[in-house]
Amino acid sequence: MISSTDKPSPDAGCRSWGVDMVRVVGIIAIIVGHVWADSATVRQWIYPWSVPLFFFLSGYLDRTSGATLLRSIRCLSLLLPYVSWLIVIGAAWVASGCGSRCSTAGIAEVLLGGAHATRPFSTFWFVTALVVVRLSVVVLSRAGAWVPWLVGAIGWALTALWPSTVAAVPFAAGVAVPAMVFFAAGRVVQRARAVRPLMVVLVAGGALAPAVVMMASGVAPFDLKYGQLGTPFLSAVCALLVCVGAVCVAQLLDQVRASRVCSAVSALAVCGVGVVLTHPAVLWVLDVPTSGSWTGFAAACVVPWVVMLALLRTRAAPLLLGRPPLVRRSW
């Protein structure tokens, strides 16, 4: 969703627009989850996969190895938009009186990030968690490809036992440990992905069909920010199946040569970090209830993306989007 180190697809003449399409759909799913946070339907069909998908995609797109730690540190550029938007939104929040949290303790909670930060900073936890995950996996992989899996599994067990304690670790560093499982799985799938379209279709169907059945049967959703891991084992399997199916769909989309669509979708995707960080602020300004509203949803999608697309072509892009300005191209 938000990696600043993603590279263009060598066989597509541009970024993988299939993966970018999956990202855009995933970002919209995240927004849906925040607008209709109290909806049982949203929690049943969106929460089981929306957040795990982005840790998985980050691993799927990762090109680092255990011997290239310095290269992986480029993901720290994601902290630039984190800090920048924290200052911008924080200034507006303080100027408004900080709501019910106008105190030293309330401001400290925002600075601690992770589960401590709520609207309008609801999504800031993901950036720090992703940075921790990526650096941890690269470092641990130097000891063996199996080490991130082991550490992630241990973190998963600890989080299942003490969710509140793990979620309370500042900057979401605690919940980043079980999230390593999804990142590591993405790396494995990238190396083992099918090539023939028919096989890709079969894998996609074989992954998505049981995932739909599991969600329909009521598998408990994830709320990783707060250490909620859902139904033991089954929720993880369901999320991984959706992730595998999603990247298979992305592979199929990449077979379609549509340069204008590719450019447009990729532009939306590279704005991801800004949209993810700022859409809760839109919901906060409009005071959208957690029961949801279509007006709030439209505003949370349109306003951040319009603003980020404008910023994408300015010198502020590295600070606010974590990437260089977009080179102007014909759409």
What is the structure's pLDDT at 67?
A: 45
- Residue whose C-alpha is closest to residue 239's, from 253, 251, 225, 229: 229
CA dist 53 to 46, 47, 121, 236, 286, Å?
11, 10, 21, 11, 28
β-strand partners of 223:
228
**Residue 10 domain-assigned?**
no
- Residue whose C-alpha is closest to residue 152's, from 179, 189, 126, 125: 179
Do 311 and 317 touch, CB atoms closer than 8 A?
yes
Task: Give the residue-averaged pLDDT of 58-81.
Answer: 73
**Domain ranges, residue 89:** 17-321
DSSP string, 243-260: HHHHHHHHHHHHTS--HH
331/83 Cα distance (integer angstroms): 32
**Residue 8 domain-assigned?**
no
- Residue whose C-alpha is closest to residue 119's, from 154, 153, 92: 92
pLDDT over 70 at 64, yes or no? no
- Alpha carbons within 13 angstroms on the beta-carbon side of residue 79 total 11
- What's the DSSP call for residue 194? -
**Residue 246 domain-assigned?**
yes
- The domain total for the chain is 1
Q: What is the mean pLDDT of the chain?
A: 89
CA dist 149 to 144, 146, 155, 298, 325, Å?
10, 5, 10, 39, 36
CA dist 268 to 93, 129, 284, Å?
27, 22, 23
Do 12 and 262 touch, CB atoms closer than 8 A?
yes
Do 58 and 134 touch, CB atoms closer than 8 A?
yes
**Residue 326 domain-assigned?**
no
What pLDDT digit, counting tens, does each position of 209-262 carry? 999 999 999 999 999 999 999 999 999 999 999 999 999 999 999 988 777 888
173/330 Cα distance (integer angstroms): 41
238/258 Cα distance (integer angstroms): 32
Amino acid at 253: L
What is the structure's pLDDT at 171?
A: 96
Q: How many CB atoms lie within 10 A of CB 154?
A: 12
**Residue 285 domain-assigned?**
yes
β-strand partners of 228:
223
Position 101 confidence tier, pLDDT thresholds 50, 70, 90 = low
What is the structure's pLDDT at 328?
A: 58
**Residue 264 domain-assigned?**
yes
Task: Give the residue-averaged pLDDT of 148-153.
Answer: 97
27/5 Cα distance (integer angstroms): 18
The backbone region for 62, taken as left when phi is positive above 0, alpha when psi lies in -120 to 50, beta otherwise, is: beta
Position 5 confidence tier, pLDDT thresholds 50, 70, 90 = very low
Tokens read off for 213 = 């059945």
Tokens read off for 76 = 């720290």
**Residue 3 domain-assigned?**
no
How big is the chain, counted in residues?
331
What pLDDT digit, counting tens, does each position of 179-202 carry? 999 999 999 999 887 667 888 888
Percent of the chain with pLDDT over 70: 89
What is the structure's pLDDT at 44?
A: 96
Torsion of CA 20, 190, 171, 116, to 10 degrees: 60
pLDDT: which is higher, 71 or 238:
238
**Residue 205 domain-assigned?**
yes
What is the structure's pLDDT at 73?
A: 62
What pLDDT digit, counting tens, does each position of 122-136 carry? 999 999 999 999 999
Percent of the chain with pLDDT over 90: 73
